[in-house]
Structure 1
Amino acid sequence: MILQQIDTFKQKALQYASTFEACCFLDSHHYEDKYGKYDCLIAFGSEKELTASVGNAFSSLKTFTKENKEWMFGLLTYDLKNEIEDLQHTKEDLLQFPDLYFFVPKNLISIKGNNIQVIKGKTDIIDEILNLPVPSKVPNKVLDIKSKLVKAEYLCSIDKIRQHIKRGDIYEMNFCQEFFAENAIIDPLTTYYHLTKISPTPFSGFFKIRNKYILSATPERFLSKSGNILTSQPIKGTAKRSDNQAEDLSIKTDLKNNKKEQAENVMIVDLVRNDLTKSATKGSVKVDELFGIYTFPQVHQMISSISCELSSEVHFVDAIKNTFPMGSMTGAPKLRAMQLIDQYERSKRGAYSGSFGYISPDGDFDFNVIIRSILYNSTTKYLSFQVGGAITYQSDAEKEYEECLLKASAIMSVLS
């Protein structure tokens, strides 16, 4: 198949998969040579499921993987932090995602280059999907999108966080705010299609758990395992692209040399190195790339890569737990940053800044970071997306607020 035919197949396959109660569609948008083993994985239908709450979620997942050495796809919400550390959350949950959810699919299709393969399920399913009509796009109704924080409250929170930094409580903290719509009626497939058309990224995905949806255009990897190698690729540093080629190159160069962005990035690199040490063979943690600049359709990103060899004494689920939640969405030191996130943010994060991805039968896995994503409960008709950024003592509250609005506007344009 040529590229255009592959992309049409993906659309049809996602439409087919989304008719099942559980489905996970992972699409790297042809970045697979740099980022993963597959361009696309499409899992749907559930043979077995695991739903677990904070308290015994990771131990339940470990048992589930030992009992089922099969492909599985799942979600880890940010609130699993309360199982790892002595943390609490009392904020209202209007999306109602399970804290942890994994399923063993009845059907699994992989795409690599021009090769479409049925890994699991009936062999004629590819022909069945090819014979489907191209999905029609359903326009969304106008949504009344609101923010949980007015500008004055946001600016005040940034000032207070800067005071914590000045006192030495933290060095950096990821502070987020929620935008939401009540009584929202959207077509998840159309919305995801528009989101990824505007922003095709290497870790995007469509995840459905019955009436709950994650529509994600995330560019960030949380953690992967290939053989005995663990790799994390935190993003810290963003610059909006320009249509002017010379100006765009200048923006990219400025990002690479920006001392503030480098300082934020290296703090998280150090945090990730520390997290990986808990699972690593002694002396194997290394920084493979520091301050790499990667270009996407809308933005340039500063991405660093850290890896290690997984100790033979550490189960791979424990390796996930030892690095969760990801440093790029918490701050440094990690525990104190999470305590202050609970104190100053107005909304429960839930699936936002959590992760979804796959575990293969041999224990390899790949998980993203849920940012630049729309979360939707079709029963309660509650829609939510959150945006934020890294706050350091050098942060300008007004500029941070404007950056949040910029990030929110991209998703708002999709929803309109």
Structure 2
Amino acid sequence: MPIAVYIFSICTFAFGLSEFVVAGLVSAMADGLHAKIEAAGTAIAAYAFGAAIGAPLITALISHWTDRRILALSMAVLAVGSVLMSLSTSLFALLAVRFVVGLAHGVFMAVASDAATKLVDSSRSGRALSVVWIGLTLALALGVPLGTYLGSIWSWRAVFASVGALALAGLAGLLWFMPARQAQTDHVGLRTRLGAIAHPQMLTTAGVGALVSVATFCFFTFISPFLLTIAGADVQWLSAAMLLFGALSIAGNLLGGYLVDAMDADRAGLLALAALAANLSGLYVFRHNAMAVVALAGVLGLLFFCIVTMLTLRLLKLAQRYVPQCTAVAAGLNIASFNLGTALGGGLGSLTIAWAGLAFLPAIGAGAALAAMGALWLQSAGLRTRQPA
């Protein structure tokens, strides 16, 4: 595996830490910025919103640049943005900076995902992609506890400054190890690049990814009250569930890369989505058993990140077939779909709680997983009928 692919992983870890570390620092940030906790909590939403916009749109605007230039500038934005976050004196300024860094995050994930698959042989593209994404899963698994700990012994400002230092290390690695390959959209017009976002096959695949996030985060957004209220668990069980979710998400990321290299991507995706629906159904059936809920929550992390990796590579392969000059732009659409699905999942969960109650969250999530499975099956069947005999 080229060293550049591992550098991508370090960079995605830095971006992921910037996004998720806020969860462990919200109280300290609220105190430091003289803001309400619920207002400080929007720092994650501002970042995710930026990533959802930046991944497809900003990537489309600048994809005629070289991958090396785009990735390096994205890391520079993270480095400068982290310093500005550490120096912020108002919540508005912090949210504005986090939105801009989120834009860079979306661009980096899109271009790095595409670049990693091109730096290796096609038979190893799944594993290369999993290496890129493992930085993000590590940030999710370690970001909250690490941020909480460092915030307690330093300050939340020092944590963001440390993320900036990590970003500079990633930038140096990119400049040293990343080949200065010419961008594939060098002679492609902006209308064509933006058109890749609206291609029916790209939108359908992105829609499947959005449904996967809806299914997962409809439940996971509210795992705390579900465990404490429905399953009757205590805080220790909740901590165990979060730890297991994070640890198995890393394994799921690696598993997804292996499966798409070892078998047909559509078949692997359908099997994984069936497992996701079964997992969420199990969370509903065994909702009063704390141990079962914790175990199934861990498996949920494994399945979600397994599917994320598989669907990302599947979209890149479809992009190579339908929009071969704009694969990085198509990858950005995939990143956006998962971010938007996460937000929609939280909204659907809120509506479910209001109209049916906490207990029905995993059942609604299972329905969304089955919808994703149906959409993928229909698209796969349609693609097979269009293939020349």
TM exceeding 0.5: no
Hey, which of these two has a bigger chunk of helix by percent?
2
TM-score under structure 1 length normalisation: 0.25
